Structure 1
Amino acid sequence: MQPMVEFCLNRLTPDVEEIRDELAQDPEVEVLETSCLGNCEICAASPYAMVNGEIVTGETAAKLRENIQQAIEDHKRKMEELFDLL
């Protein structure tokens, strides 16, 4: 199962668009854009995305990129652990 990263169209500033574009180039990550993810307070306060339904924020776009990458790595590790159990 691929990690899914969702971005709110209302928060797609140029630096967040750059993150989205980088992730879209990765064939192992599904990237979606939604007109509104329903987290307006978070959206107004800082850049954010949803990774597998979990909110990931960052005070800056660079920190958001780092946190998204960490969430993706965590997801991959969990998937590997699940497959190891089978």
Structure 2
Amino acid sequence: MNRLVEFCTNNMHHGTDTILRRLEEERPDVETIEYGCLGNCGMCYLEPYVLVDGEIVAAETAEALYEKIVQKLNEAAIDPFADLPLD
């Protein structure tokens, strides 16, 4: 199942363009889309952010944002039923 990370072009001045390229290179399981606007202008002006599967993920720096994105992607990849017995 491919995951979706959405970027705002107006937020690229925070360094999210490097995150976009890095995800494209390192995470084939992630679909990245770049939009002209995601409608979160106040947040967009203040800090780097993206939408991961429709949920806002933000951080103080682009590098911290990348780590949060990876953490969010990995959390969702964990199967909560994996340890249950099959009866």
The verdict on a shared fold, with TM-score over 0.5 as the criterion, is: yes
| In structure 2, C-alpha distance between the alignment counterparts of 1:27 and 1:15, rounded to whole Å | 21
Q: More deviation in 49-58 or 60-69? A: 60-69
Partner of 2:80: 81
Output one character per residue of 1:3-45: Cα deviation in whole Å (capped at 9) or x when no partner: 1100001111372111110101221111000111011111111
Q: Structure 1: which amino acid aligns with 2:21?
A: D
Partner of 2:33: 32
CA contact (8 A) 1:3 1:76 kept: no
Number of aligned positions between the proteins: 83
Q: Structure 2: which amino acid aligns with 1:70?
A: Q
Q: Which runs of 5+ in 2 are unaligned?
A: none
Q: Which runs of 5+ in 1 are unaligned?
A: none
| In structure 2, C-alpha distance between the alignment counterparts of 1:2 and 1:81, rounded to whole Å | 18
Partner of 2:52: 51
Aligned-pair identity (%): 40
CA RMSD of aligned residues (A): 1.9
Structure having the higher Rg: 2
Please report the TM-score for the alignment, with normalisation by the length of structure 1.
0.85
More helix by share: 1
DSSP 3-state at the match of 2:28: coil
